[in-house]
Every structure is written in C-alpha cells, then in structure tokens.
Structure 1
Amino acid sequence: MNVRNIAKQLNISVNYIDMDKPGYATISADKRLKFVFISTRYPARVQRVTLIHELEHIARQSGQTALYHATVSARIKMESEINRCVVYELVDDYIKHTGVEPENINYIDFMELNDISADYELFVKETIKKYKC
C-alpha cells in the first residue's frame, strides 16, 4: 500500500509535526479541505500505521464526525472499525511485499513489527487465517 499515493488520490494534505499524540485527521465543514497530522515524535513504522489509520477515517467515516463525537461508545466502535481496516491493510501489504503465504505468518512477530495492540490479537489471527489475495 502506497499511503502517499492514496493521500494524493483522496486530495488529503499530510503534515508531519511535533505533537504528543501519534496523529489525527480533520476535514473542513464544506469537506473540500482534508488534513492528516502525523507526529514526528514517533518511529517511522508508528507514523506509517498512524497515517493508514487516519486515511481510513477520512475514506470511510468522513461524514460521521458528529456521531464520532456523540458518545464514548460510538467513538470506541468507530475506532475499532478503523483499526480492523488497518489490520487488513497491513496484512495485505505484508503478504504482497514479503511473498510469505498467510499460513506462514508469525502473528506475534507481525503484531510487533506493526505496533498492533494485543487487544487485536484475535482479529489479527482471524484476518491472517481468512486472507484472500
């Protein structure tokens, strides 16, 4: 996955800045301006995963900002949905770039390589198991 090309295709301005949190996305009220901010305080692999995460928010949930901010449970659900999309994209990218067959992926090494939370262990295993080219 070439995240920079995706950002260009979606007309999203990606900015690397010094900030505490790994990243966030924002869209103007008229939805014409789209920005992703990525923290330079984190390692490159965290920046990449964060960029994928934020691009997924814009691509899949851009019209749902009010819902995202409405309740804690809505926000958690939406974040979980995006994280699942990110896991799939990372698995897909890993297989395409390494040539490793899904059944030969060590999911623990994969999770460590991509800084994926242990909370997603079952989903990572399921995604790898059900992966289709």
Structure 2
Amino acid sequence: MNNNLPEKLQEITILHELGHAALQQGETELYHTTYNLHAKMEAGANKFMLQEEVTSYLAENGKDGFNAVNFLERYNLPLNFEGLVSDMIAGM
C-alpha cells in the first residue's frame, strides 16, 4: 500500500482487495485465465468495496436524500458505479 495516497483512497483500495480475498479464495489462477473471468472478479471486488462504503456512509449520514452521483463524487469513485450504488440503496 502506498502510504502517500490519501487515507480514503487507501481504505477503498484495501476494501477492494478484501473483496478479492473474501469472494475469490483459491481462485487466483482463474484471474489470469480469460478477460471475462478477470472482469467478473474485478466487478465482484468493486461491488464488495461499494457495499462496505455505502453501508458505512449510511450509518453516519442516513438514507434520506442519498444521491448516488454525489456519493461517488465525494469519494472520487467512477460514475459508472451509479447504477450499482442505486440498486444497493433500493435494496436496503
């Protein structure tokens, strides 16, 4: 981990990597097998990270007035996660 990165980016990176560990234990070789498997594993790790970040955010701020784009911009996350974050909120 690069200690020169902002603290929030370090947290997001660690959560993403924890997602790999939690969801893909013992599947390291598959990661490099095909592009589709690689992309699927990255998507799973991103979803894990987002779920943790959204849950933490809601615990501090509540659900009222939540806006997925504002959330993503606040943490400098890609806006293409908007649909996934919106679906998470709808399911909570």
Q: Which runs of 5+ in 1 are unaligned?
A: 1-37
> Cα distance, 1:72 vs. partner?
1.6
Bigger proportion of residues as strand: 1
Q: How far did 1:106 drift?
A: 1.8
User: Deviation string for 1:20-79 (max 9, x for gaps)?
Assistant: xxxxxxxxxxxxxxxxxx222321111110011111111221210011111121111110
Equivalenced residue count is 92
Would you tell me which structure has more helix in proportion to its own residues? 2
Task: Give the 4+ runs in structure 1 shifted more than 6 A.
Answer: none
Q: Map 1:23-62 to 2 at 5 A.
A: 38-62=1-25
1:129 is displaced (CA, Å) by 1.6
How do residues 91-130 of structure 1 correspond to structure 2 at under 5 angstroms?
91-98=54-61, 100-101=62-63, 103-130=64-91
- TM norm structure 1: 0.63
The structure having more radius of gyration, on CA atoms, is 1
Identity among equivalent positions (%) equals 30
CA RMSD in angstroms comes to 1.4
Partner Cα distance (1:48, 1:119) in 2: 20
- Secondary structure of the corresponding residue to residue 80 of structure 1: helix
Q: Which runs of 5+ in 2 are unaligned?
A: none
